[in-house]
Structure 1
């Protein structure tokens, strides 16, 4: 999935959560969703986040390969445990959710993800898949964009200035 689709899908699902739960859709939460939605691709130097990682992506790819450790439930669980248990905030909640949404989106791709890494290198994928940069991904992008706008207009933001609360 391309970076902008990861961003919009994470924001849309995160806004849906904010619409139907007590979670507030704040700037900090949205920023966490965006960063978390991109973070698993730190294992690819040519990814949006990898090009901005000051060489970290090259080292991660060398150690684990693309869609290896960073796309596993173990990586998500470790990040979630450290951030939410040690430093809970709207930002860290968004980051952990965005990370999970990224893995879920890649789970639906034709390449799949190694959910059970390091216990298994098998890549799991959903029954119906899409290819990165395909027409179907473009359709998904616009569907998530429409869903994001819908949630923003229908309850994700309770007060006009709630986006500015941290």
Structure 2
């Protein structure tokens, strides 16, 4: 899945979760989801995050390959535990959620993901789309439309704008 599709589909699901839970749809939450939805691809130097990693992506890819360790539920759980214990915040919640959603989105690709690495190298998948395919384009626009609908229906944009206003008031 391309980076922009990861971001939009993760924001769509994150908005749906925020609309049904006490998680606030704020700047911090959405920034966390965006960062988390990109982070697993630190194992690919040509990815959006990999090109900005100052060489770290090349090292990770050499050690574990693309869609290796960074796409494991085991590794996600360990990272989630550390992040939530060290800095429990709305941003951290979004980061952990975005990371998990990235793994689940790639699980739906024809390449699959090693969900149980390091216990197992097998790639699991429900092959619905191929990266860059027309179906991925449909997923992008469908998720974008659904994000707008959910955010409008549950007035999440108001909450987001309030948090943006509060952010700028704090820095000025």
Range into which the TM-score falls when normalised by the shorter chain: over 0.9
| SS of structure 1 residue aligned to 2:125 | coil
Structure 2: which 5+ runs fail to align?
168-172
RMSD of the alignment, in Å? 1.3
Looking at both structures, which has the greater relative contact order when contacts are Cα pairs under 8 Å and sequence separation is at least 6?
A: 1
Query: CA 1:149/1:64 → structure 2, altered by over 3 Å: closer, same or farther?
Result: same
TM-score normalised to structure 1 length: 0.95
Is the CA contact 2:26–2:159 (under 8 Å) kept in the aligned structure 1? no
Partner of 1:107: 107
Which deviations, in whole Å up to 9, do the C-alpha atoms of 1:17-58 show, x marking residues without a partner?
111111100000000000000000000000000000000000
Give distance in 2, aligned partners of 1:141 and 1:17: 18
How do 1:77-92 and structure 2 match up within 5 A? 77-92=77-92
Higher helix share: 2
* Residue 18 (structure 1) aligned with residue 15 (structure 2): no
TM-score normalised to structure 2 length: 0.92
TM-superposed deviation, 1:75: 1.5
* Residue 67 (structure 1) aligned with residue 67 (structure 2): yes
Query: CA 1:30/1:160 → structure 2, altered by over 3 Å: closer, same or farther?
Result: closer
How do 1:1-166 and structure 2 match up within 5 A? 1-126=1-126, 128-155=127-154, 157=156, 159=159, 161-164=161-164
Which deviations, in whole Å up to 9, do the C-alpha atoms of 1:63-122 show, x marking residues without a partner?
100000000011211110011122011111000000000000000000000001011110
Query: CA 1:159/1:5 → structure 2, altered by over 3 Å: closer, same or farther?
Result: closer
Instruction: Give the paired residue count.
Output: 165
